[in-house]
Structure 1
Amino acid sequence: MLNRSAAKRRLLNLLLATLGFVWVATVYFLYEHGASSTVYLLFLLSVVLAVAVVGLQRHLLPVQEIRRINALASEIVPGIGGEAKAIEEKGVPEEILPITQAYNLLLDYHEDRHRQERDFIADASHELRTPLAGVRLQTQIAMRTDDAAKQARAHKNILVAIDRGTRLVEQLLTLSRLTADKKVLNPEQVDLRRCCEIAVEALAGAADAKRITIEIDNDQAVFTLMAEKSSILTLLDNLLLNAIQFSPEGGCVHISLARDLGGVTISVTDEGPGVPEADRARVLRRFQKSAAGTKTGTGLGLAIAKRVVELHSGDLVLGEGTGGRGLTVAVTFPVGSGDKRAC
C-alpha cells in the first residue's frame, strides 16, 4: 500500500506540473493578445489555486496512511481485530513517519507487557501448585490413619505447606506492588541500623526454629538515608529470610553497614551453600533458584530485593561469604537515592 501511495504521489506531481505548464501558456497567450484585465484575474486565481494544490498534496495524500495506522491501532484493544502487527516504516511519507514510529514503539511495549504477564501467571501457578499438593497429600495421610503420631505429623506438615503458600502469595503481592507502572516512592529520613533491628526482631521466630544467630556489626555509627522506609524493611525482610532459609542449623547470619563516597552499603552474609558465579545473574530473576541451593524458598526474595534497590537507584551485588563460604548480598544506596520519583 505504501508503494501505491508513493506512485500516486508521483503521478499527482506530474499532473500538477502539466496543468501548471498549460496554465502559464494560457496566461501568456491572453497577455500577448491584450487581455490585460483577464490576465490580472487569472494571475490572482493561479496564486490561490497554487496554495490550495500544495495544501492538498501535503495533507490529503497521507490520509490513507493515517487510516491504515488507525485500523492497525484498533487491534491493540482486546477483543477487536486480530493479531496486531508493526507497520513497515520503509517508504512511509515523512509527514506521518513519527506517528508510525510511535505506533510501533507502543506495540512493542504492549507485546512485552503481555509476555511478562503470561510468564508471571504461568510461574506463579506452577509455584502455588507445590504447597497445595502438599496440603492435599498430608490431608489424605491424616484421613487414612488412626495413628495419633502420624496424624500429628501430617497436621504439622499441612501447617508448613500453608505457611509456604501464604508466604508465596505475600511475595507475589509485594512484587506486583513494586513493579507497578509509575511506582512513586515516598522518601523520608531512614535510620538503616534501626531498620535492620526491626527486621531481625520480625524474623526472630524463623531464626530460632533453626537455632540461627543474626548479628549486626558492633559499629554504633549512625547510617541514615533518604528512602521509603516500608520498601527498605521489605528489602531487609527478604534478604534475611533468604539467608535464614539457606543457612544450616545452628548457623550465623551477619549484617554489616558501611559508608563511603559511593553511598551507604548494607551487606547480609550467610553460611549456606552460596551461589556459583555462573548462577548469580539468573537468581535475581523471579522464581529462579541456584542449582547449588536447596528446594526451600519461593525464588522471589532476591527478585523483590533487586526491585527495591532499582527503585532507589542503588546497586545489588552477589558475592562469596566469609572465607569463601556462603553468600554475601551487598546493597549500595547512593547519596540522595530516595528522592521522590516515579519508576
Structure 2
Amino acid sequence: MNSIRSRLLLWQISALLVTALVVGVLTYRLALQGFHEVQDTGLEQIAHTVLRHDETPVPAPAGRARPSPPPTYTTGDELSPPEPEESVMEPADDEPDEGRFVSQIWSTKGELIYASVLDDGPPLQPPGYHFVVWGTHTWRVYTLPRETRTVQVAMTRQDRNQGVSSLVVWLLLPMGLLVLLLGVLIHEAVSRALRPLDQLRRDIGQREMAELHAVALSDLPDEVAPLAHTLNQLLARLDHLLAGQRQFLADAAHELNTPLAAIKLQAQLARRAHEAERQTALDDLDAGIERAIHLTAQLLQFARLEPDQRASTHEALRLDALVRQSVVAFSAAADARDTDLGLVQADAAPLVGDRVALRALLDNLLDNALRYTPPGARIDVSLRREADGVLLEIADNGPGIPAQDRSRAVERFVRLNPTDITGSGLGLAIARATAALHGGSLQLDDTPGGGLTVRVRLPLSPPP
C-alpha cells in the first residue's frame, strides 16, 4: 500500500474503530454496573416496603407459602397466629413463580414465616447482598434483618440481565452512528488535505516538454511547499541543462560547419589542381580532415562531461602515472615543433577518479600548450602532493592570456584570436569541466618571465 491517502484512512479509521470499541466496552460495563446498582437499590427498597407493611403474617405450610392477613403481636417474641380465613389467596398452580421478585419473611429463629413462591424460595442468607444458586437459576438476594423479622428479597440473574440486553442496542446504536459519521468526515478531511498534491500532479502532468517554469507556491500548504520548492529547483536545473544542450548543439553545428566547408572546398581545389599543385592541395585537405577529427573528438569528450552523462566510473588510480603517459605521448609533437616539453616533478599521487576523463584533461592542456606557443618554447609539467589533494601545473613561456580574458578563455567554443583556425575553443572548457567533475578547480595564472600557467587542484577522493 503506497498511497498516502490509503495509509491515512487506514490508520485514522483503525484508530477510530479501536477507540469506539474501547469506549463501547467501557460504556457497556459502566451501564451494566449502574443498572445492577439500580436493581440492587430496588431490591433494598422492596425489602423495606415489605418490612413496613408486614405486621403478623400467618405461618406458611410446609412446602407452601401463602399471603395471610395481618397478625397481632404479643408482648413477647412469639406469635399468636389466628385461624385461617376464607380470604386467603392460593397460588394458581404448583410451579415456582420464577421471573418475578421473590419476597420472604423469616423469624428471628430462622423459620420461614412468609414466601411469595410455592416452594419456599432461596434459603436464608446473611445480611446484605448475595448471589445464591437455587433451583436452576442464580439469584440475586438482599437480606434485611430487624429485631423481630428478617426480610429477604430475590430475583434471578436472567431477569437482571434481560433489562441490560435491551439497553445494549440503544447504547451501541449512537456509537455506531458516531463511527460512521466520523469515518465519512475523516475521508473527506483526508481528501481535502491531499487535494493540493492532486492539483500539483495535474499541473505538472498537463505541461509540455518545453514548459519548465516554476510551480506556484502561494496556495500550497506548509507540508507540500518544500516539495514544490525542490521541484522548482529541479525544473530550473533541467531548464538550464536543456538550454545548455541546445546551445551546445548550435555551437557544435556552427564549429563543425567551418572545417567541413573547408574540407569540401579543399577537395574541389585538389580535383581541379594541376599535377604540380595537387600534392599541396591534398596536404591542405588532410589538415582540414585532421582539424574536423580533432573537433569531433573534443565534442565527444565535452558531451561525456555533461551533467546527464556523469555516470562515470571512479576508480583508484595513480595520477602521476597518467601525467607521465601524457607527456610521453606528446613528446613527438613537441620535438616536431622544437619545443622543450619536460616533466619537472611528479610526486606519487594516488587518488580516486575517472581515468578516461583525467587523461583527456592532461591531453587537452598539453595540446593547448603546444598549439599556442611558438616553436622553440618551453613547457614544464609538474605534479605536487598537497595536504588535502594534488596540484598539477603546466607552465609555458608563450604569449599567455591577458587577465581580463581568462574567464572567457575557459568557456566552450571561445577563441581569443578570431583568425586562429587550428583550435576549437574546447580544450580549457573540457579541462575545467573535468576538474569540477572530480571536485577540483582550474586556474589560469601568469608564468614568471612571461607565458601562461594552468593550475589544476584535485582532491584525493571526489565528493559524493
- Structure 2 matches for 1:204-283, cutoff 5 A? 204-217=331-344, 219=345, 221-283=347-409
After superposition, the Cα gap between the structure-2 partners of 1:285 and 1:148, relative to the gap in structure 1 and judged at 3 Å, is same
State the match for 1:128 in structure 2.
256
Residue 159 (structure 1) shift: 0.8
The match for 2:300 among 153, 168, 173 is: 173
Q: How many Å separate the matches in 2 of 1:85 and 1:132? A: 38
Q: How many Å separate the matches in 2 of 1:119 and 1:131? A: 19
Contact (CA 8 Å) 1:273, 1:292: kept in 2 or not?
no
Tell me the secondary structure at the aligned position of residue 100 of structure 1: helix
Q: How many Å separate the matches in 1 of 2:199 and 2:238? A: 19
Tell me the secondary structure at the aligned position of residue 397 of structure 2: coil
Tell me the secondary structure at the aligned position of residue 328 of structure 1: strand
Residue 236 (structure 1) shift: 0.9
Q: How many Å separate the matches in 1 of 2:419 and 2:313? A: 33
Q: How many Å separate the matches in 2 of 1:220 and 1:68? A: 60
Residue 128 (structure 1) shift: 0.5
After superposition, the Cα gap between the structure-2 partners of 1:87 and 1:113, relative to the gap in structure 1 and judged at 3 Å, is same
Contact (CA 8 Å) 1:309, 1:316: kept in 2 or not?
yes
Number of aligned residues:
296
After superposition, what is the alpha-carbon deviation per residue over 1:95-125, rounded to whole angstroms, capped at 9, x for unaligned?
5434533443333233222111101100101
**Alignment root-mean-square deviation, CA:** 2.8
After superposition, the Cα gap between the structure-2 partners of 1:319 and 1:119, relative to the gap in structure 1 and judged at 3 Å, is same
| Structure number having the greater helix percentage | 1
After superposition, the Cα gap between the structure-2 partners of 1:129 and 1:186, relative to the gap in structure 1 and judged at 3 Å, is same
Tell me the secondary structure at the aligned position of residue 379 of structure 2: strand
- Structure 2 matches for 1:25-40, cutoff 5 A? none
After superposition, the Cα gap between the structure-2 partners of 1:227 and 1:68, relative to the gap in structure 1 and judged at 3 Å, is closer
After superposition, the Cα gap between the structure-2 partners of 1:137 and 1:96, relative to the gap in structure 1 and judged at 3 Å, is same
Match status 1:68 vs 2:193: no
After superposition, what is the alpha-carbon deviation per residue over 1:239-292, rounded to whole angstroms, capped at 9, x for unaligned?
100100100122121112223324321110122221222222222222123359
Partner letter of residue 368 of structure 2?
Answer: N
Contact (CA 8 Å) 1:72, 1:84: kept in 2 or not?
no
Contact (CA 8 Å) 1:62, 1:93: kept in 2 or not?
no
The match for 2:410 among 269, 284, 288 is: 284
Q: How many Å separate the matches in 2 of 1:83 and 1:127? A: 29
Residue 38 (structure 1) shift: 5.8
Structure 1 unaligned blocks of 5 or more:
1-35
Contact (CA 8 Å) 1:178, 1:308: kept in 2 or not?
yes
Q: How many Å separate the matches in 2 of 1:90 and 1:142? A: 68
Contact (CA 8 Å) 2:346, 2:382: kept in 1 or not?
no
Residue 203 (structure 1) shift: 2.0
Q: Which moved more, 1:195-204 or 1:66-75?
A: 66-75
Q: How many Å separate the matches in 2 of 1:293 and 1:183? A: 37
Match status 1:143 vs 2:294: no
Contact (CA 8 Å) 1:190, 1:229: kept in 2 or not?
no
Match status 1:155 vs 2:282: yes
Contact (CA 8 Å) 1:275, 1:292: kept in 2 or not?
no
Q: How many Å separate the matches in 1 of 2:406 and 2:304? A: 24
The match for 1:326 among 451, 459, 463 is: 451
After superposition, the Cα gap between the structure-2 partners of 1:338 and 1:91, relative to the gap in structure 1 and judged at 3 Å, is closer
Residue 326 (structure 1) shift: 1.5
Q: How many Å separate the matches in 1 of 2:220 and 2:349? A: 57
Residue 184 (structure 1) shift: 3.2
Tell me the secondary structure at the aligned position of residue 398 of structure 2: coil
Contact (CA 8 Å) 2:395, 2:451: kept in 1 or not?
yes
Contact (CA 8 Å) 1:254, 1:270: kept in 2 or not?
yes
Contact (CA 8 Å) 2:346, 2:384: kept in 1 or not?
no
State the match for 1:93 in structure 2.
221
**Percent of counterpart pairs with the same letter?**
31
Q: How many Å separate the matches in 2 of 1:96 and 1:195? A: 49
Tell me the secondary structure at the aligned position of residue 214 of structure 1: strand
Q: How many Å separate the matches in 1 of 2:405 and 2:254? A: 21
Partner letter of residue 439 of structure 2?
Answer: S
Tell me the secondary structure at the aligned position of residue 50 of structure 1: helix
State the match for 1:183 in structure 2.
311
Tell me the secondary structure at the aligned position of residue 255 of structure 1: strand
Tell me the secondary structure at the aligned position of residue 160 of structure 1: helix
The match for 2:244 among 92, 110, 116 is: 116
Is the radius of gyration larger for structure 1 or structure 2? 2
Q: How many Å separate the matches in 1 of 2:327 and 2:381? A: 10
- Structure 2 matches for 1:40-55, cutoff 5 A? 41-42=173-174, 45-46=177-178, 48-55=180-187
Query: Larger relative CO (CA 8 A, sep 6+): 1 or 2?
Result: 1
Residue 316 (structure 1) shift: 1.5
Structure 2 unaligned blocks of 5 or more:
1-166
> 4+ runs of 1 displaced by more than 6 Å?
none
TM-score, normalised to structure 2's length?
0.57
Contact (CA 8 Å) 2:346, 2:383: kept in 1 or not?
no
Residue 126 (structure 1) shift: 0.8
